[in-house]
């Protein structure tokens, strides 16, 4: 029988064992969310069949997250454990916030189930380029805000925040509370919860950053990475444009082109009728900023491990091999 225990701060590392590689792409599958909203969701967790099983209680009614498997997790066995628990407790089985890719499987398993889609529960999905560029008249208001910000804080810089910055963060909350205009109880509650979560700054798997101006923070952001943001479709290869286009024709998701040859690839894709997007000019080629952001939060590596990966021989080496091969044939 499953034994559940309430989620507490001391359990975060255990929850992260599962959430760190979880690719459900739903905000509820996050250790930080479970802790932050525990007063509302009342989450409890158990482990079975190598999976994390979370039971929430919303409006007095128990409901379960879809099981989150670990490296050797068995989702089928975890679902069976939930079923047995519900029978033993005399409660109905309800799964909440089900990942889209799992819905068909559940409906096949439970043909009498009803699938509900609540608009108020949907996550927000933003186009990254829209947030970077704010293009067109639709975003004129946002551009005005950005321009106003740059005039007020011309030297403001974004930087990562760590445990040593906790006094700065506390000062930020004092300043922010003085100008906080929302009066609803829910807004005040969310502000208090965010303040509590930021006390975790310095935890290795949390990403915290802020805009600093004249020695004071004027904004703060906090995030938890769950699962991979990039999915590798192929191993690194040096291939022709024709072979590349043949691969891209089978990809249904948006295609973004970056790198020194992005423009050439883009033109070829257009000729082949493949829908692809050329990355903005400031993002086409790698930059020191991009390398720094990729390394942010990662474990340091010694310099001797940072070796280049060559996908093919250099032109000089290829020409030398061809010359030696030609000479060998003459002999």
Residues 237-260 pLDDT 10s: 888 888 888 888 877 667 888 888
Are 207 and 225 spatial neighbours (Cβ–Cβ below 8 Å)? yes
What domains can be seen in the chain, in order of their start residue? 5-121 (3.40.630.30), 156-224 (no CATH), 241-299+308-330 (no CATH)
d(CA 330, CA 235): 38
Res 233 pLDDT > 80: no
* Confidence (pTM): 0.67
* DSSP state string for 291-322: HHHHHTTSPP--GGG-----SS--HHHHHHHH
What average pLDDT score do residues 140-164 get? 91
Res 298 pLDDT > 70: no
CA atoms in the 13 A half-sphere facing the CB of 271: 10
Judged by DSSP in three states, 57 sits in strand
Q: Which of 58, 40, 46 is nearest to 84 (CA)?
A: 46
Residue 8 CB contacts under 8 Å (≥ 6 apart), including other chains? 35
Which helix (H) or strand (E) element contains residue 151?
helix 140-152
List the Cα angle 224/227/258 in 5-degree steps: 100
Pairing of strands 277-278, 256-257: parallel
Residue 216 CB contacts under 8 Å (≥ 6 apart), including other chains? 168, 171, 172, 175
Q: Which of 73, 66, 77, 131 is nearest to 99 (CA)?
A: 66
d(CA 185, CA 143): 31
CA atoms in the 13 A half-sphere facing the CB of 124: 4
Res 65 pLDDT > 70: yes
What average pLDDT score do residues 77-94 get? 94
Using the structure block, give the residue that is written with the tokens 């739903």: 26
Res 287 pLDDT > 60: yes
Grade residue 292 by pLDDT with cuts at 50, 70 and 90: confident
Q: Looking at the DSSP assignment, which residues form a beta bridge with residue 44?
A: 6, 55
């Amino acid at each position: 029988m499953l034994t559940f225990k309430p989620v507490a701060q001391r359990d975060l590392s255990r929850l992260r064992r599962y959430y760190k590689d979880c690719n459900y792409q739903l905000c509820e599958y996050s250790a930080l969310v479970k802790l932050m909203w525990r007063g509302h969701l009342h989450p409890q967790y158990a482990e079975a069949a190598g999976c994390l099983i979370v039971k929430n209680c919303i409006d007095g009614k128990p409901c379960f997250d879809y099981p989150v498997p670990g490296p050797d997790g068995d989702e089928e066995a975890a679902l069976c454990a939930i079923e047995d628990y519900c029978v033993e407790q005399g409660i109905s089985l309800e799964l909440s916030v089900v990942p889209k890719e799992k819905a068909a499987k559940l409906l096949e398993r439970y043909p009498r189930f009803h699938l509900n889609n609540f608009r108020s529960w949907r996550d927000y999905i933003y186009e990254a380029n829209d947030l970077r560029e704010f293009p067109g008249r639709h975003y004129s208001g946002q551009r005005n805000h950005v321009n106003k910000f740059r005039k007020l804080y011309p030297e403001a810089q974004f930087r990562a925040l760590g445990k040593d910055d906790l006094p700065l963060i506390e000062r930020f909350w004092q300043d922010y509370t003085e100008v906080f205009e929302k009066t609803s109880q829910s807004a005040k509650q969310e502000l208090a919860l965010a303040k509590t979560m930021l006390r975790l700054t310095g935890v290795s798997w949390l990403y915290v950053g802020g805009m600093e101006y004249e020695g004071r923070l004027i904004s703060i952001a906090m995030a938890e990475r769950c699962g991979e943001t990039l999915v590798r479709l192929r191993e690194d290869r040096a291939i022709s444009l024709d072979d590349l286009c043949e691969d891209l024709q089978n990809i249904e998701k948006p295609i973004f082109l970056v790198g020194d040859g992005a423009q050439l690839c883009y033109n070829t894709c257009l000729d082949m009728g493949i829908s692809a997007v050329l990355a903005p000019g400031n993002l086409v080629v790698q930059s020191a900023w991009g390398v720094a952001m990729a390394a942010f939060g990662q474990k340091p590596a010694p310099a001797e491990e940072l070796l280049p990966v060559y996908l093919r021989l250099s032109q000089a080496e290829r020409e030398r091999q061809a010359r030696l091969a030609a000479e060998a044939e003459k002999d």
